[in-house]
Amino acid sequence: MIDVSNSYLDHVFIGRSEKLLQKYLDGELDEKNKVFFTRDYFETSIDNLTIPDYSDFSLINYAYLNATASISCKYQCKFCNEQQYYGKFQPRDVRETINEMKCLSEKYHRQLFFMTDACGNAVVDELTTEINKNNLPFYFDTYFRVDKESGDYKRTLNWRRGGLYRVRLGIESGSQSVLNKMRKALSVDMIKNALHNLAKAGIKTTTYWVVGFPGETENDFQSTLDLITEYQEYIYEAECNPFTYHHSGQNNSDSWAKYRMPIFDKNDRKMLIFDTWTLNLYPLREEAHYRMFRFVEHCKKLGIPNPYSGYDVFSADNRWKRLCENSVPNSTEFNQDKGFVIENHESNLILAKNKRSDEMEFSF
C-alpha cells in the first residue's frame, strides 16, 4: 500500500473483526494506529456470537437472512485463504444455530437462510436433522465441498427434507490432474456422484470453477468443459473465475513467491492504492481470461445459467423445476406475506426417476 492510501482509508481491520470494530467504536483503540489485527486482541472463536440486529435495515428486497454454524474450514486447498484468515475450524453447537434461526425468523418473518460458513459439510447432518425432527420451516443455502456423503442419494434426500435448499460447490476443475495440483482431495467420479445425487434430491447445485490454475493445460480445460456438458442436467448454475494469485494469505502463497510478478508496470502502479500480482507460470493471465470467455460461451450454449438479476433467477428456477422432480421451491415462493413454505415436511419426497440412461451404480 502506498502513501496515497492515507487520503482514502482511515483504518484497516484484519481478521474476523466484529468485536474489534466495536472496541474501536467504543474508543478503546489507539487512533494513531492505521492497521489493527484481530489476533492482537481476540482469539477467533465461534463461542458467544451475537444474533444480528437488522431493525435499522430495509429487508423488503431480500429473501435471505444470515445464520452461522461454523467458522473457518477443515481443508487447505492451495488457492484458498480461509484458514489463514480465520484459523482452526470450529463448529458451533447446533442448538445455538437453531436458536439464532428461530429468533431471526420470528422477528423478521423469514425462513430462508444463507449460511456464513466457509464449508457446510461438517454441520449439514446435525443441522438438517434438527430442522426435520422439530418440523421447523427453515431452508438454508450453504457453501459446500464434494465428498462421499454428497454422492449418497439417501443422505442427500434426508438433507433435502431437513431444509438444505442450495449448495455452492467448489468443484474447480473437471481434470483429475488439476484437482490434484490444487490439493482438493477429491476425484472426478466423486464430483459426478455428488452432482447427480444432490440434483436428484432437488437441491440446487451452484457450481464454482477456477480457470487457469498454474499447470492447467488445454486438455485439462477441455476436461472441465466436457464434464459440464455431460452433467448439464444436474447443474443449477455455473460460475467461473480466473485463478488469482495473492502476495500473501493463500495456503500456497509462499511456494509460488519465486514466480510472482506485478501485473502493472512501474508508472501505472503509481496510480494504485494496492499492488496486484500474477504468476509467471503457464497458463499466463491472458490465456486464463480467454479460457474464462470460452467457459461462459460454452455454458450459454448448453443453457446453464449464471443468474444475477431477478428475471435470471426466476428463469433458472423454472429450468430447475423442469429438470428435477424433487426440486426445491422457486425463490419467488418464499413470500413472507403468504405464510411459510413447508413442503419438505408436508409432502413425501420421492425416490426420483433417473433421467439419464447410463445409471450404473446410481439406480435405486
**Residue 112: closest CA among 353, 360, 323, 317:** 317
Can you give the pTM of this predicted structure? 0.84
The number of residues in the chain equals 364
- Do 10 and 103 fall within a single domain? no
- Do 108 and 36 fall within a single domain? no
| Statement: residue 102 has pLDDT above 90 | yes
- Do 29 and 50 fall within a single domain? no
Answer for the pair 124, 89: CB distance below 8 angstroms, yes or no: no
- Do 204 and 118 fall within a single domain? yes
Q: How far apart are CA 126 and CA 348, in angstroms?
A: 21
Q: For the chain, how big is the Rg over CA atoms in Å?
A: 22
Q: How many CB atoms lie within 10 A of CB 53?
A: 9
**Residue 361: closest CA among 201, 188, 185, 153:** 153
Domain range holding 22?
A: 1-43
Which of 46-60, 68-82, 175-189 shows the lowest mean pLDDT across its residues? 68-82
Q: How far apart are CA 118 and CA 114, in angstroms?
A: 11
Sequence-distant (≥ 6) Cβ neighbours of residue 100 within 8 angstroms: 49, 51, 67, 68
- Do 102 and 238 fall within a single domain? yes
Q: How many CB atoms lie within 10 A of CB 112?
A: 24
CA angle 316, 115, 9 (to 5 degrees): 100
pLDDT tens digits, one per residue of 233-286: 999 999 999 999 988 777 788 889 999 999 988 888 888 877 888 999 999 999
User: Over the chain, what is the mean pLDDT?
Assistant: 87
Alpha-carbon torsion 112, 116, 121, 127, what sign?
A: negative
For residue 76, the model assigns a pLDDT of 67
The total number of structural domains in the chain stands at 2
- Do 162 and 216 fall within a single domain? yes
- Do 28 and 146 fall within a single domain? no
**Nine-digit cell string for 318:** 423454472
**Nine-digit cell string for 68:** 452461522
| Statement: residue 346 has pLDDT above 90 | no
| Statement: residue 189 has pLDDT above 90 | yes
- Do 145 and 238 fall within a single domain? yes
For residue 78, the model assigns a pLDDT of 64
The span from the first CA to the last CA of the chain, in angstroms, equals: 58
| Statement: residue 60 has pLDDT above 90 | no
CA angle 328, 329, 333 (to 5 degrees): 165
- Do 213 and 105 fall within a single domain? yes
For residue 356, the model assigns a pLDDT of 42
Is 53 or 216 the better-scoring residue by pLDDT?
216
- Do 36 and 83 fall within a single domain? no
What residue type is assigned to position 240 of the chain?
A: C
Residues pairing with 167 in the sheet: 142, 205
For residue 6, the model assigns a pLDDT of 59
| Statement: residue 2 has pLDDT above 50 | no
Q: How far apart are CA 192 and CA 244, in angstroms?
A: 26
- Do 39 and 53 fall within a single domain? no
- Do 32 and 97 fall within a single domain? no
